[in-house]
Chain A
Amino acid sequence: MRSRTPGRGTRAARAVPDARQPAGGRVLPALAAAGALPVLALLALGTLAGCGSGPSGPPAVDLYNAPQEHMAQIVRRCNDAARGAYRIRLNTLPRGADDQREQLVRRLAAGDHGLDVLGLDVTWTAELAEAGWIREWTGAHAAEARRGTLAAPLGTATWRGRLFAAPYNTNVQLLWYRSDLIPHPPRTWSGLMAESARLARAGEPFYGEVTGAQYEGLVVWFNSLVASAGGTILTPDGEHVALGPSALAALKVMRDFSRSKAADPSMSNTKEDDARLAVEAGRGAYEVNWPFVYASMTSNRPKLARHFRWAPYPGLNGPGRSPLGGANFAVSRYSRHPDAAFRAALCLRDPESQRVAAVEDGLPPTIGTVYDAPGMDRAYPMRQTIRDALRTAAPRPMTPTYQNVSTVTAVTLSPPRSIDPPRTLGTLRSLIGDALESQGVLP
Chain B
Amino acid sequence: MTAGETARTGADGNGGGRTVSRGARDERRLGLWLCAPAAVVMLLVTGWPIVYSVLLSLQRYDLRFPGRRAWIGLANYGTVLTSGFWWNAVWVTVVVTVVSVVIELVLGMAIALVMYRTLTGRGLVRTAVLIPYGIVTVAAAYGWKYAWTPGTGWLAGFLPAGSAPLTQHWPALLIIILAEVWKTTPFMSLLLMAGLALVPEDALKAAAMDGASAWQRFRLVVLPLMAPTIYAALLFRILDAVRIFDDIYVLTNGAQNTSSVSIIAYHNLISGLNLGIGSTMSVLIFLGVSVVPVLFVKVLGASAPGQDRGR
> Taking the complex as formed, is A269 at the interface, i.e. its CB lies under 8 A from any CB of chain B?
yes
| Interface CB pairs A-B, < 8 A, 29 | A1-B253, A1-B267, A1-B271, A3-B249, A6-B245, A7-B243, A10-B289, A12-B45, A12-B46, A13-B50, A19-B3, A19-B35, A21-B2, A21-B28, A21-B31, A24-B30, A32-B37, A33-B37, A105-B273, A109-B63, A130-B65, A131-B64, A131-B273, A404-B272, A438-B64, A440-B83, A442-B85, A442-B272, A442-B274
Those of A2-23 within 8 Å (CB) of chain B:
2-10, 12-13, 16-17, 19-22
Q: Which residues of B contact A130 (CB under 8 A)?
A: 64-65
Q: Can you add 17 more A-B contacts, CB < 8 Å, to A3-B246, A105-B273, A443-B257?
A: A5-B245, A6-B245, A19-B31, A19-B35, A21-B3, A21-B6, A21-B31, A29-B33, A32-B30, A105-B63, A130-B64, A131-B64, A214-B255, A401-B64, A439-B79, A441-B85, A443-B254
Residues B85 and A265 in contact, CB atoms below 8 Å apart: no
CA A19 to CA B42, docked complex, whole Å = 13
A438 to B, closest residue via Cβ? B62
Number of interface residues of A (CB under 8 A): 55
Residues B34 and A32 in contact, CB atoms below 8 Å apart: yes
Q: Which residues of A contact B6 (CB under 8 A)?
A: 21
Those of B41-88 within 8 Å (CB) of chain A:
41-42, 45-46, 49-50, 60, 62-66, 79-80, 83, 85-86, 88
B162 to A, closest residue via Cβ? A266
Q: Which residues of A contact B50 (CB under 8 A)?
A: 13
Residues A22 and B27 in contact, CB atoms below 8 Å apart: yes
Which of A3, A8, A215 is the most central at the interface, judged by chain B CB atoms within 10 Å of its CB? A3
Q: Which residues of B contact A6 (CB under 8 A)?
A: 245, 262, 266, 269-270
What string of 1s and 0s marks CB contacts (under 8 Å) between A409-443 and chain B? 00000000000000000000000000000111111
> Taking the complex as formed, is B182 at the interface, i.e. its CB lies under 8 A from any CB of chain A?
no
Residues A3 and B271 in contact, CB atoms below 8 Å apart: no
The one of A127, A400, A441 in contact with B83, judged by C-beta atoms closer than 8 angstroms, is: A441
Residues B259 and A443 in contact, CB atoms below 8 Å apart: yes
> Taking the complex as formed, is B221 at the interface, i.e. its CB lies under 8 A from any CB of chain A?
no
B253 to A, closest residue via Cβ? A1
The one of B35, B164, B256 in contact with A214, judged by C-beta atoms closer than 8 angstroms, is: B256
The one of A9, A17, A102 in contact with B38, judged by C-beta atoms closer than 8 angstroms, is: A17
> Taking the complex as formed, is B241 at the interface, i.e. its CB lies under 8 A from any CB of chain A?
no
CA A8 to CA B36, docked complex, whole Å = 26
Q: Which residues of B contact A21 (CB under 8 A)?
A: 2-3, 6, 27-28, 31
> Taking the complex as formed, is A83 at the interface, i.e. its CB lies under 8 A from any CB of chain B?
no
What string of 1s and 0s marks CB contacts (under 8 Å) between B261-284 and chain A? 011111111111110010000000
| Closest-CB distance, B293 to chain A (whole angstroms) | 9
**Majority secondary structure of chain A interface residues (helix, strand, loop or mixed):** loop
Nearest 3 pairs of A and B residues by beta carbon: A7-B262, A35-B37, A441-B83
Q: Which residues of A contact B30 (CB under 8 A)?
A: 22, 24, 26-27, 29, 32
> Taking the complex as formed, is B294 at the interface, i.e. its CB lies under 8 A from any CB of chain A?
no
B272 to A, closest residue via Cβ? A442
> Taking the complex as formed, is B300 at the interface, i.e. its CB lies under 8 A from any CB of chain A?
no
Q: Which residues of B contact A213 (CB under 8 A)?
A: 167
| Closest-CB distance, B199 to chain A (whole angstroms) | 27
Which of B3, B80, B253, B272 is the most central at the interface, judged by chain A CB atoms within 10 Å of its CB? B272
CA A279 to CA B64, docked complex, whole Å = 41
Number of interface residues of B (CB under 8 A): 68
> Taking the complex as formed, is A39 at the interface, i.e. its CB lies under 8 A from any CB of chain B?
yes
CA A16 to CA B167, docked complex, whole Å = 42
Q: Which residues of B contact A403 (CB under 8 A)?
A: 271-272
CA A443 to CA B267, docked complex, whole Å = 7
> Taking the complex as formed, is B39 at the interface, i.e. its CB lies under 8 A from any CB of chain A?
yes
CA A35 to CA B39, docked complex, whole Å = 11
Residues A131 and B63 in contact, CB atoms below 8 Å apart: yes
> Taking the complex as formed, is A106 at the interface, i.e. its CB lies under 8 A from any CB of chain B?
yes
> Taking the complex as formed, is B133 at the interface, i.e. its CB lies under 8 A from any CB of chain A?
no
Residues A443 and B35 in contact, CB atoms below 8 Å apart: no
Q: Which residues of B contact A407 (CB under 8 A)?
A: 267
> Taking the complex as formed, is B40 at the interface, i.e. its CB lies under 8 A from any CB of chain A?
yes
CA A57 to CA B263, docked complex, whole Å = 45
Residues B270 and A106 in contact, CB atoms below 8 Å apart: yes
Residues B46 and A35 in contact, CB atoms below 8 Å apart: no
The one of B28, B164, B266 in contact with A2, judged by C-beta atoms closer than 8 angstroms, is: B266
CA A9 to CA B29, docked complex, whole Å = 32
Residues A7 and B265 in contact, CB atoms below 8 Å apart: yes
The one of B31, B60, B256 in contact with A22, judged by C-beta atoms closer than 8 angstroms, is: B31
Those of A65-92 within 8 Å (CB) of chain B:
none
CA A1 to CA B272, docked complex, whole Å = 10
| Closest-CB distance, A128 to chain B (whole angstroms) | 8
Residues A7 and B27 in contact, CB atoms below 8 Å apart: no
Residues B246 and A5 in contact, CB atoms below 8 Å apart: yes
> Taking the complex as formed, is A339 at the interface, i.e. its CB lies under 8 A from any CB of chain B?
no
Residues A8 and B245 in contact, CB atoms below 8 Å apart: yes
B245 to A, closest residue via Cβ? A7
Q: Which residues of B contact A33 (CB under 8 A)?
A: 33, 36-37
CA A258 to CA B3, docked complex, whole Å = 71
> Taking the complex as formed, is A36 at the interface, i.e. its CB lies under 8 A from any CB of chain B?
yes
Those of A205-234 within 8 Å (CB) of chain B:
213-215
> Taking the complex as formed, is B131 at the interface, i.e. its CB lies under 8 A from any CB of chain A?
no
CA A115 to CA B66, docked complex, whole Å = 21
CA A131 to CA B285, docked complex, whole Å = 28
Decide: A109 near B273, CB < 8 A? Known: A3-B249, A33-B37, A441-B79. yes
The one of A3, A19, A438, A439 in contact with B2, judged by C-beta atoms closer than 8 angstroms, is: A19
Decide: A9 near B271, CB < 8 A? Known: A21-B6, A441-B83, A443-B85. no
CA A395 to CA B164, docked complex, whole Å = 32
| Closest-CB distance, B192 to chain A (whole angstroms) | 20
Which of A4, A10, A20, A24 is the most central at the interface, judged by chain B CB atoms within 10 Å of its CB? A10
The one of B33, B41, B42 in contact with A32, judged by C-beta atoms closer than 8 angstroms, is: B33
CA A70 to CA B255, docked complex, whole Å = 33
Q: Which residues of B contact A400 (CB under 8 A)?
A: 64-65
Decide: A7 near B266, CB < 8 A? Known: A1-B253, A109-B273. yes
Those of A253-270 within 8 Å (CB) of chain B:
265-266, 268-269
